[in-house]
Amino acid sequence: MDFSISKQEEAFRQELRTWLEENLPEGWLQGNRELPEDKADYAVFLRKWQNTLYEGGWGAISWPKEYGGREATLMEEIIFYQEMVRVQAPPLINYIGIHMVGPTLIQSGTDEQKEKFINKIITGEEVWCQGYSEPNAGSDLAAIQTSAEKKGDQWLINGQKVWTSFGHLADKCFLLARTSTHPEKKHRGITAFLLDMNQSGVETKPITQMDGQQEFNEVYLTDAVAYDADIVGELDKGWRVMIALMLHERTGIGAELFTLEKRFDDMVAAIKDYQINGRPVMDDPSVRQKLASFYARFRGSLLNYYRNLTSTLKNGHPGPESSIDKLAVSELTKEMAGFMMSLQGHRGMLWKEDAPIDPVWQDEYLFSFGQTIGGGTSEVQRNTIGERVLGLPKDMGR
């Protein structure tokens, strides 16, 4: 066992820290982390941040050097996340482009696709979203009905996508559409398209989430156009491409675990300062008991992530154990946020600037419900762990 990091890795961390100090948006490190409220300004702000990262050589650190990356090792990528969480850096607007689409195209895109898309991803010029889920195809993704039909040299795409994160800000979409039907194996006959969002056949409608934010979208496709050149991999074999694309996410849920760690520390700090009826809540033994049990669970989750990471480093790729990390971090985040709500008692219902401790807990609480659903629900994660880690029989219907 060895938790130390090498001299090179430490140098990497220092280089990044220095760079962040010089390049984070004005006032950010001092605590002014407000993002623009206006949607257009918000997008401009985050695209600019992506471009700043790119110019500093931090735009897509795990990519090959020839595409603007720095061929970072897995450990360097972990350090990158730790540092980004430490300074609470602005969110990555082009997460899908950097972590999924870019690496997939670098690995298996055509020369033309590489030429056309890759540089624009890393610079933030083009923001990507993914078009997977549909109203009747969430956890059962292979049930998608959006169709792509060939008319002349065009593919005409019709249907509806939903839960498309950043869809309203995106220029491009990595889209799954049905190109033929295979009644027995419904995941066959799906093709992956690189779709232009800036066309008349694509209409996005933001969905207001329960936390008041609008990150998700419904995307309506009415004779949206794509060409053969926009197909990734082979016709009807998009399922395979999608699976490969998910595997490009080398570090899995790491950033969320580091965020959870920070949340826990913030939670303890907040509780230390918080009083009810003039008495510090930390004096309440039941509060300490609860905190202690959260401590064990978040440390356990983090250490477990390190143990899984160790096997990723040895095997060169993550295994199904990453579902354990996803399940742990999302469920724990929800519980911790729920505890912070309860702790504030009747005043816990006060929101935004009236929140008794910090509105972050109320926001976190509401947002946490999305975390146990998005990216595969907790139930789907449990199926994956049950079947692929423990070897239990496949779920009914599959």
Q: In this chain, which stretch among 53-61, 232-240, 275-283, 341-349 interacts with another protein, using CB under 8 A?
A: 275-283
Nearest residue to 376 via CA among 332, 333, 324 = 324
Output the DSSP codes for 171-209. Answer: SEEEEEEE-S--SS-TTTTEEEEEEESSSTTEEEEEE--
**247 is written with which tokens?**
């595997």
Mention every residue, 6+ apart, whose C-beta is less than 8 A from residue 144: 132, 134, 137, 159, 176, 177, 178, 190
Residues 229-268 touching another protein, rule: CB under 8 A, are 268
Q: Which of 21, 115, 234, 283 binds another protein (CB under 8 A)?
A: 283
Q: How far from 373 is each of 263, 333, 361, 379, 380, CA to CA, in Å? A: 20, 13, 19, 9, 9
Q: Which of 304, 341, 374, 375 binds another protein (CB under 8 A)?
A: 304
Catalytic annotation, pick one of 249, 331, 335, 387: 249
Annotated catalytic, 76? no
- 159's enclosing H/E stretch is strand 154-161
Measured between alpha carbons, how far is 294 from 202 in angstroms, rounded to an integer? 45
Residues 96-155 touching another protein, rule: CB under 8 A, are none
CB of 337 to another protein, least distance (A): 19
Say whether residue 11 binds another protein (CB under 8 A). no
CB of 271 to another protein, least distance (A): 8
Between 77 and 171, name the residue whose CB sits nearer to another protein: 77
Say whether residue 292 binds another protein (CB under 8 A). yes
Q: Which of 303, 342, 347, 349 binds another protein (CB under 8 A)?
A: 303
CB of 82 to another protein, least distance (A): 12
Residues 323-382 touching another protein, rule: CB under 8 A, are 324, 327-328, 379, 382
Between 244 and 268, name the residue whose CB sits nearer to another protein: 268
**193 is written with which tokens?**
């398209």
CB of 290 to another protein, least distance (A): 9
Say whether residue 307 binds another protein (CB under 8 A). yes
Between 40 and 390, name the residue whose CB sits nearer to another protein: 390
**336 is written with which tokens?**
């911790």
Say whether residue 291 binds another protein (CB under 8 A). yes
Between 18 and 293, name the residue whose CB sits nearer to another protein: 293
Mention every residue, 6+ apart, whose C-beta is less than 8 A from residue 60: 54, 67, 68, 69, 98, 102, 121, 122
Residues 67-96 touching another protein, rule: CB under 8 A, are 75, 78
Between 40 and 396, name the residue whose CB sits nearer to another protein: 396
Is 178 in contact with 145 (CB distance < 8 Å)? yes
Say whether residue 187 binds another protein (CB under 8 A). no
Measured between alpha carbons, how far is 35 from 54 in angstroms, rounded to an integer? 20
> Locate tokens 């959260």: which residue?
294
Phi-psi region for residue 34, left (φ > 0), alpha (ψ -120 to 50) or beta? beta
Give me the residues that bind another protein (CB under 8 A), please.
Answer: 1-3, 5, 75, 78, 268, 272, 280, 282-283, 285, 288-289, 291-293, 295-297, 299-301, 303-304, 306-307, 309-311, 313, 324, 327-328, 379, 382-383, 385-387, 389-396
Active site positions, annotated: 249
